[in-house]
Chains A and B, each alone.
Chain A
Amino acid sequence: DAKTTQPTSMDCAEGRAANLPCNHSTISGNEYVYWYRQIHSQGPQYIIHGLKNNETNEMASLIITEDRKSSTLILPHATLRDTAVYYCIVRSRSNDYKLSFGAGTTVTVRA
C-alpha cells in the first residue's frame, strides 16, 4: 500500500478553514484516500474518503489532485472541538483488512 506523508502539526484559528495536506505520491489506481481523526483519549473517527473526485460531507471536504499524488482535507469552519490528530490513509478496497495508521497531523484550533 502507498505510504502517506503528513505534517507533524499545524495550528488553525477558530472559525477559519483548516487545510490539511497529505502526500501519497506512490498511490496506485485502485487505492482510495481515507481520512480519520482522533480526539484526545478517544478512538479514531472516520471523516471522509475518495478515489478521484472531490468529496464533501457534513464534516469536511476532500480535494484530490488530478494526478492523485496528494490530497487536502478541508474543515470549512474550524471549531475548538476540531482539535485532534488527523490521519490520512491510502488503501485498496480489495485489500483493506490490514489497516494501520501513521502518526498523523496534530491540529490545534485556537480561539
Chain B
Amino acid sequence: NAGVTQTPKFQVLKTGQSMTLQCAQDMNHEYMSWYRQDPGMGLRLIHYSVGAGITDQGEVPNGYNVSRSTTEDFPLRLLSAAPSQTSVYFCASSPTGGHSLLHFGNGTRLTVT
C-alpha cells in the first residue's frame, strides 16, 4: 500500500517557469489537500478538494491552481513560479473531511531562483 505519493521529491525552477507537482493516493480517499511549509511557519493550506470535480481555496491560494479530475490524483500547478514560492510542499488525504485520518506524503522541496 503506497499511501500518498508525491513527485518529484526535489525541483529547481527559474522565475517565471511553470510546473506541476503531482500527488496520488491509492486509498480511495475523498479529501485531498496541498500545504506549503516554510521555516518557522508550520504548514499552511493552499487548496483542498472534498471529491472529484470539487476544489476550494485554503489559506494561501494565490499563485497556485488545482484540479481534481479523479479521486486518486490532485496535482498542484504553478503557472509562473516566483522566489516566494520556494518551500516544501506536502499533499495529504483522508477518507472524508474528518482530518483525524490525514495521511501525508513525504513532500516536494521546491526552489525558485
A contact residues vs B (CB 8 Å cutoff): 32, 34, 36, 41-46, 49, 87, 91, 93, 96-104
Contact = CB atoms under 8 A, between A and B. Distances in A.
B93 to A, nearest CB: 11
A32 B33 CA distance: 20
B90 interface: yes
Contacts of A41: 106-107
B48 A43 contact: no
B53 interface: no
Interface in B87-113: 90, 92, 97-102, 104-107
B3 to A, nearest CB: 10
Nearest to A8: B40
A100 B45 contact: yes
Contact of B42 (A43, A45, A103): A103
A38 B106 CA distance: 10
B31 interface: yes
Interface in B46-79: 48, 50, 56, 58-59
B4 interface: yes
B43 interface: yes
B99 A44 contact: no
Contact of B43 (A44, A91, A93): A44
Contacts of B105: 43
A96 B98 CA distance: 7
B2 interface: no
Given A34-B99, A46-B102, A97-B56, 19 more contacts: A36-B102, A42-B104, A42-B106, A43-B4, A43-B92, A43-B106, A43-B107, A44-B102, A46-B100, A46-B101, A87-B42, A97-B33, A99-B102, A100-B35, A100-B43, A100-B44, A100-B58, A103-B40, A103-B41
A106 B99 CA distance: 22
B16 to A, nearest CB: 28
